[in-house]
């Protein structure tokens, strides 16, 4: 059936066929889950070598006895690796605990409560501090803003990154905008890599924004390529240096999806001035991070080449799952929605026709397939067009991804056909 040209009778018949297919799938009593953007057991196992890698030798090449206190900025080898991942000198990097999200929250909290430009320079001291949130985006970024009572302004993502015309216009017209969330490479969930021009313009935002404005550059997928020829990401740090805006940049990354998601190493990077403020706060909270884990990672990754080899192993497991999603969408849904086809990262972002995402998620749930709640990719869980669904295929087995996608496609078709029939009736 050609959806656009179908008559009411054809659509009614189509609906009835889809309902039968849907009911058959319900009888299978599936329990499948496409919500979790986390590595599979096979993927985390690639890093099992971490266990025992120290072999009783706890002293690093840099001469640090990692078992003891000391070194609040982390093991030098891990600062260097973080610097390579984030494209910034090691001296501007802190190698911390296992979670970059925690570092983002702590950094935001620091700006909110304490500031770093002297008294009365906190975000909470402003009337209505606001963050710009490219959408669709990462729900946990939005939770940080929500937790601190920071208002979120959405800006659409384009294939080159967030819509920079809108961002610049917003910043010029509102001097209480104090932040911008960015996932510059294989963005969550669209998979976009920010173009060179976008990165250049982001670097210059510090010239027009409030002095307390900060870009939160969450490079969570910096090394997470699925193809052998990854597109490059422009060097934000160098561009910010040229623009004299280093203080407007915070960078984050972690090895959560490189080694162990629950026991990796996370990094935060920034200008000397920014880092000094964060170091001061950290020194109150912690004497030092887990340097034994730093050393285990340093041994596993003596250089970036070793890390890239590890990422190629990950890609070997992930690619068939992405292929399963994309093939299923190509074959079934060309008339029913649009979706992204990323060269890396963890997600496929799917847009239904307006007003159908919630319905699709609920239909899928009733057929035993858990999808990320509709709206989760927008601040306050509110997708104004109710279209976006984030598909996360890395965790389940490939055959489970295939089965879940069969259900997903039937649900999208059913919701769309029913919607069309309803609009013909009205
Ligand atoms: C964009 C983004 N940032 C951060 C994280 C979490 O990172 P971490 O495990 O280092 O806290 C994720 C996890 O899905 C993510 O997608």
- Place 416 in a pLDDT band, splitting at 50, 70 and 90: very high
Q: Would you give the distance in Å from CA 335 to the centre of its chain?
A: 28
Alpha carbon nearest to ligand 1 atom 3, residue:
220
- Distance separating alpha carbons of residues 252 and 271, to the nearest angstrom: 13
Alpha carbon nearest to ligand 1 atom 15, residue:
220
- Distance separating alpha carbons of residues 239 and 293, to the nearest angstrom: 32
Does residue 254 have its Cβ closer than 6 Å to ligand 1? yes
pLDDT tens for residues 269-291? 999 999 999 999 999 999 999 99
Give the model's pLDDT for residue 109. 97
pLDDT tens for residues 114-172? 998 666 699 999 999 999 999 999 999 999 999 999 999 999 999 999 999 999 999 99
Ligand 1 centroid to residue 315 C-alpha, Å: 18
Give the model's pLDDT for residue 426. 77
Alpha carbon nearest to ligand 1 atom 14, residue:
37
pLDDT tens for residues 42-68? 999 999 999 999 999 999 999 999 999
Give the model's pLDDT for residue 120. 67
- Place 197 in a pLDDT band, splitting at 50, 70 and 90: very high
CA-CA-CA-CA torsion sign (377, 86, 261, 231): positive
Does residue 101 have its Cβ closer than 6 Å to ligand 1? yes
Does residue 138 have its Cβ closer than 6 Å to ligand 1? yes
- Place 241 in a pLDDT band, splitting at 50, 70 and 90: very high
Q: Between β-strands 348-352 and 388-391, what pairing exists: parallel, antiparallel or unpaired? A: antiparallel
Give the model's pLDDT for residue 250. 98
Ligand 1 centroid to residue 101 C-alpha, Å: 6
SS3 sequence, the chain?
CCCCCCCHHHHHHHHHHHHHHHHHHHHCCCCEECCCCCCCHHHHHCCHHHCCCCCCCCECCCCCECCCCCCCCCCHHHHHHHHHHHCCCHHHEEECCCCHHHHHHHHHHHHHHCCCCCCCCCCCCCCCCEEEEEECCCHHHHHHHHHHCCEEEEEEEECCEECHHHHHHHHHHCCCEEEEEECCCCCCCCCCCCCHHHHHHHHHHHHHCCCCCEEEEECCCCCCECCCCCCCCCCHHHHHHHHCCHHHEEEEEECCCCCCCCCCCEEEEECHHHHHHHHHHHHHHCCCCCHHHHHHHHHHCCCHHHHHHHHHHHHHHHHHHHHHHHHHHHHHCCCCEEECCCCECCCEEEEECCCCHHHHHHHHHHCCEECCCCCCCCHHHCCCCCCEEEECCCCCCHHHHHHHHHHHHHHHHHHHHHHHHHHHHC
Buried b (16+ CB within 10 A) or exposed e, 100-129: bbebbbbbbbbbbeebbeeeeebbeebeeb
Whose CA is closest to 252, among 390, 141, 363, 328? 141
Does residue 66 have its Cβ closer than 6 Å to ligand 1? no
Ligand 1 centroid to residue 188 C-alpha, Å: 9
CB 289 within 8 A of CB 264: no
Does residue 188 have its Cβ closer than 6 Å to ligand 1? yes
**Mean pLDDT, all residues of the chain:** 96
Ligand 1 centroid to residue 189 C-alpha, Å: 12
- Distance separating alpha carbons of residues 41 and 52, to the nearest angstrom: 19
Whose CA is closest to 371, among 331, 412, 315, 314? 412
Give the model's pLDDT for residue 231. 87
Does residue 256 have its Cβ closer than 6 Å to ligand 1? yes
- Distance separating alpha carbons of residues 290 and 312, to the nearest angstrom: 27
Phi, psi dihedral angles at 59 (to 5 degrees): -95, 130
Does residue 85 have its Cβ closer than 6 Å to ligand 1? no
Which atom, in ligand 1's list, is nearest to the CA of 98?
A: 10
| Best residue among 141, 220, 346 to mutate for probing ligand 1, ranked by most atoms within 8 Å of CB | 220
Give the model's pLDDT for residue 340. 97
Q: Which residues are bridge partners to 154 per DSSP?
A: 133
Does residue 222 have its Cβ closer than 6 Å to ligand 1? no
The answer to whether residue 1 scores a pLDDT higher than 90 is: no
């Amino acid at each position: 059936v050609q959806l656009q040209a179908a008559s009411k009778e054809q659509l009614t018949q189509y609906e009835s066929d889809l309902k039968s297919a849907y009911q058959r799938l319900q009888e299978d009593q599936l329990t499948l889950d496409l919500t979790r953007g986390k590595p599979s057991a096979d993927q985390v196992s690639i890093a099992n070598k971490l266990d025992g890698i120290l072999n009783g030798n706890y002293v690093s090449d840099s001469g640090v006895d990692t078992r003891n206190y000391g070194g609040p900025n982390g093991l030098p080898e891990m600062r260097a690796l973080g610097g390579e991942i984030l494209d910034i000198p090691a001296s501007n990097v802190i190698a911390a605990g296992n979670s970059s999200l925690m570092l983002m929250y702590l950094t935001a909290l620091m700006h909110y409560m304490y500031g770093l430009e002297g008294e009365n320079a906190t975000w909470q001291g402003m009337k209505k501090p606001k963050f710009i949130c490219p959408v669709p985006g990462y729900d946990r970024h939005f939770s940080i803003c929500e937790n601190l009572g920071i208002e979120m302004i959405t800006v659409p993502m384009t294939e080159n990154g967030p819509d920079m015309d809108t961002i610049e216009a917003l910043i010029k017209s509102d001097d209480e905008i104090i932040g911008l969330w960015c996932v510059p490479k294989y963005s969550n969930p669209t998979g976009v890599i920010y173009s060179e021009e976008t990165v250049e313009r982001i670097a210059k935002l510090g010239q027009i924004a409030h002095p307390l404005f900060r870009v939160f550059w969450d490079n969570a997928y910096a090394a997470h390529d699925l193809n052998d020829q990854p597109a490059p990401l422009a060097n934000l740090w160098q561009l910010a240096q040229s623009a004299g805006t280093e203080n407007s940049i915070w960078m984050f990354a972690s090895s959560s999806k490189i080694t162990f998601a629950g026991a990796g190493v996370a990094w935060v990077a920034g200008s000397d001035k920014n880092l000094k403020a964060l170091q001061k706060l950290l020194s109150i909270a912690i004497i030092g991070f887990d340097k034994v884990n730093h050393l285990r990672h340093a041994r596993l990754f003596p250089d970036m080449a070793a890390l890239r080899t590890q990422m190629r192993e990950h890609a070997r497991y992930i690619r068939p799952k992405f292929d399963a999603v994309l093939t299923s969408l190509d074959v079934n849904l060309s008339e029913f929605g649009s979706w992204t086809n990323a060269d890396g990262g963890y997600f496929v972002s799917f847009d239904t026709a307006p007003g159908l995402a919630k319905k699709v998620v609920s239909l899928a749930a009733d057929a035993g397939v858990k999808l990320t709640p509709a709206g989760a990719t927008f601040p306050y869980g509110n997708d104004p067009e109710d279209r976006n669904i984030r598909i996360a295929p890395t965790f389940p087995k490939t055959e489970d991804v295939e089965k879940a996608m069969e259900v997903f496609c039937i649900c999208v078709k059913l919701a769309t056909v029913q919607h069309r029939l309803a609009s013909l009736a009205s």
